[in-house]
């Protein structure tokens, strides 16, 4: 396997007025919930899979005991106004350089399909458990702001104060260098839980932008499923912490014997 490997499921894909939407794991899994919901509800077609040494060395196991190598995938959702190229996946990069390399690839593919605008979806952690319907925005071109305000996106000076970390941020920064307009839309969320309510707020904004009519109800159920998986993963992690260290030498506190 190469450092990054793209497997094309469908060749000769042509897109009309393509827009690129990115919903990878992150705060409250808000972006992932929304993008996966779009893919499902719009009967999207998978066009390619991305595998990489920058993802964790792991397979997931499904309800049939079948394993799936962790990856990212791109789908095409046909809508009246736009063909949506949607990026969803199991993980973001495990390493700093991997983030840059994968986002470079995502942008290369987006450009190949003629994408003129990018929306990255995510959650913005408030640290508060009270619910908010707010969707916060950041853009790589201020000319987008007025239009997005009309769809219900809020903009606040210097927010998010800590910047935007990971693919959601990096894609805005990198596409700016190539003069492609991009916005990051963030549902406000506590940051402590998988958050379907925040995802519903964000989905409503997306529906306005793309003039879609999508049932936001199933998001609750999808979030419950995801919450279960996150819980299982945490349980395994806890168990692993109690186990004897099987690997002797730990790269990070390497001291020398002898």
Q: Which of residues 3-42 bind a copy of itself (CB under 8 A)?
A: 3, 7, 24-27, 29, 31
Q: Name the helix (H) or strand (E) containing 118.
A: strand 117-125
User: Of 217, 191, 192, nearest to 204 (Cα)?
Assistant: 217
Identified binder of a copy of itself from the candidate list 19, 164, 202, 223, rule CB under 8 A: 164
Per CB under 8 A, does 129 bind a copy of itself? no
Binding mask 165-204 for a copy of itself (x = CB under 8 A): xxxxxx-xxx-xx------x-x----xxxx----------
CA 206/CA 194 separation, integer angstroms: 19
CA 238/CA 235 separation, integer angstroms: 5
For a copy of itself, which is the closer residue by CB, 130 or 248? 248
Burial, 197: exposed, middle or buried (Cβ in 10 Å; 0-12, 13-18, 19+)? buried
Per CB under 8 A, does 130 bind a copy of itself? no
| In the complex, minimum distance from the CB of residue 219 to a copy of itself, in angstroms, rounded to a whole number | 18
Per CB under 8 A, does 216 bind a copy of itself? no
Q: Is 248 helix (H, G, I), strand (E, B) or coil?
A: coil
Q: Which parts of 105-124 interact with a copy of itself (CB under 8 A)?
A: 120, 122-124
Identified binder of a copy of itself from the candidate list 23, 89, 137, 196, rule CB under 8 A: 137
Backbone phi, psi, residue 252, to 5°: -80, -30
Per CB under 8 A, does 58 bind a copy of itself? yes
Contacts of 177 (CB under 8 A, 6+ apart): none
Burial, 53: exposed, middle or buried (Cβ in 10 Å; 0-12, 13-18, 19+)? middle
For a copy of itself, which is the closer residue by CB, 11 or 162? 162
Per CB under 8 A, does 251 bind a copy of itself? yes
Angle at 126 between CA 223 and CA 123, to 5 degrees: 45
Per CB under 8 A, does 247 bind a copy of itself? yes
CA 86/CA 88 separation, integer angstroms: 6
Binding mask 69-98 for a copy of itself (x = CB under 8 A): xx--------------------xxxxxxx-
Which range touches a copy of itself (CB under 8 A), out of 34-42, 64-72, 79-87, 214-222? Answer: 64-72
């Amino acid at each position: 396997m190469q450092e990054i490997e793209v497997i094309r499921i469908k060749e000769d894909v042509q897109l009309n007025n393509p827009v690129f939407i990115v919903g990878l794991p992150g705060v409250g899994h808000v972006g992932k919930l929304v993008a996966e919901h779009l893919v499902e509800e719009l009967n999207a077609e998978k066009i390619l899979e991305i595998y990489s040494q920058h993802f964790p060395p792991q397979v997931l196991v499904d309800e049939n005991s079948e394993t799936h190598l962790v990856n990212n995938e791109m789908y095409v959702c046909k809508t009246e106004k736009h063909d949506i190229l949607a990026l969803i996946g199991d993980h973001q990069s495990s390493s700093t350089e991997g983030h840059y390399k994968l986002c470079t690839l995502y942008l290369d593919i987006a450009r190949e399909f003629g994408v003129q605008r990018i929306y990255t979806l995510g959650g913005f952690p408030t640290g508060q458990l009270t619910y908010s319907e707010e969707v916060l925005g950041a853009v790589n071109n201020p000319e987008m702001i007025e239009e997005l305000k009309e769809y219900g996106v809020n903009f606040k000076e210097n927010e998010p104060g800590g910047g935007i970390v990971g693919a959601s941020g990096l894609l805005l920064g990198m596409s700016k260098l190539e003069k492609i307009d991009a916005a990051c839309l963030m549902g406000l969320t506590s940051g402590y839980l998988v958050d379907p309510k925040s995802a519903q707020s964000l989905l409503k904004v997306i529906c306005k932008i793309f003039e879609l009519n999508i049932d936001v109800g199933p998001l609750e159920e999808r979030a419950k499923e995801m919450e279960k998986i996150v819980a299982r993963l945490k349980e395994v992690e806890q168990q692993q912490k109690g186990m004897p260290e099987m690997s002797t030498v730990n790269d990070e506190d390497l001291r020398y014997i002898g």
